[in-house]
Chains A and B, each alone.
Chain A
Amino acid sequence: NAGVTQTPKFQVLKTGQSMTLQCAQDMNHNSMYWYRQDPGMGLRLIYYSASEGTTDKGEVPNGYNVSRLNKREFSLRLESAAPSQTSVYFCASSERARQALSYEQYFGPGTRLTVT
């Protein structure tokens, strides 16, 4: 049981290049998320997918697109990378807890992206 996995772990892009960050979870969770974490800014939600077949914008969606490929996989695409997108990207998944009041999120190991 690997939990949440992300690839790649590190990536360097030049401005204007595109790439896709991959995320997969094996916990049979319905919901998946993409966050970015910047120094002094905390975790900010980029996009989320409440269930297979649906995606919604989070706090900072500009410059990104997502695809919920199936229940396990949720990818994040940068179409034209910019230096402002240099960050650590975390994927997470969650399921509603038994008490039905909380969504316990479990995070992947992260991708460190540098855009030059």
Chain B
Amino acid sequence: QKEVEQNSGPLSVPEGAIASLNCTYSDRGSQSFFWYRQYSGKSPELIMFIYSNGDKEDGRFTAQLNKASQYVSLLIRDSQPSDSATYLCAVNMKGQGFSFIFGKGTRLLVKP
């Protein structure tokens, strides 16, 4: 059973701090990794994806991938109250481009 694990939270951080969201996956054949943000009552919105080991930065967001440890993370710098949402990690298996496994999400609360 292929699994994607996330801490459900809530993760509470003060405004301006760095929020660190973590995700582990079970299948070593996983190839691409995605972070989605979902506000309450809304649909998931793609933040960024990563498929090479290391860091990928996009504005205040940095995705980190460590395939040896089967671990992917999302860092949010200078956290804002508007970043309060549930963050979903999704994994795409190699050779199965249409098969995405989603984690259950981590709820982030940024307090003013």
User: What is A's interface to B at a CB cutoff of 8 Å?
Assistant: 31, 33, 40-45, 48, 50, 56, 58, 90, 94, 96-97, 99, 101-110
| C-alpha gap A106/B69 in the complex (Å) | 28
Q: Which residue of B lies closest to A97 (CB)?
A: B49
The verdict on A45 contacting B92 (CB below 8 Å), with A101-B31, A106-B46 known, is no
A103 touches B97 (CB 8 A): yes
Instruction: Bin chain B's interface residue count.
Output: 20 to 34
B42 touches A33 (CB 8 A): no
Name the B residues within 8 Å of A110 (CB-CB): 42-43
CB distance from B102 to the nearest CB of A (A): 4
What residues of A have a CB within 8 angstroms of the CB of B103 in the complex? 42
Q: Sort A-B residue pairs by CB-CB distance and give the 5 closest, nearest first.
A: A42-B104, A107-B43, A43-B102, A102-B32, A101-B51
Contacts of B43 in A (CB 8 A): 90, 107-110
Residues of A close to B102: CB separation below 8 A: 42-44
In the complex, are the beta carbons of A90 and B44 less than 8 A apart? yes
Chain B residues within 8 Å of A105, by CB? 34, 46, 90, 100
B 79-112 to A, binary, CB cutoff 8 A, 1 in contact else 0: 0000000001010100001111011110000000
Contact B46–A41 (Cβ < 8 Å)? no
Alpha-carbon distance A101/B90, docked complex (angstroms)? 14
Is the beta-carbon distance between A107 and B44 smaller than 8 angstroms? yes
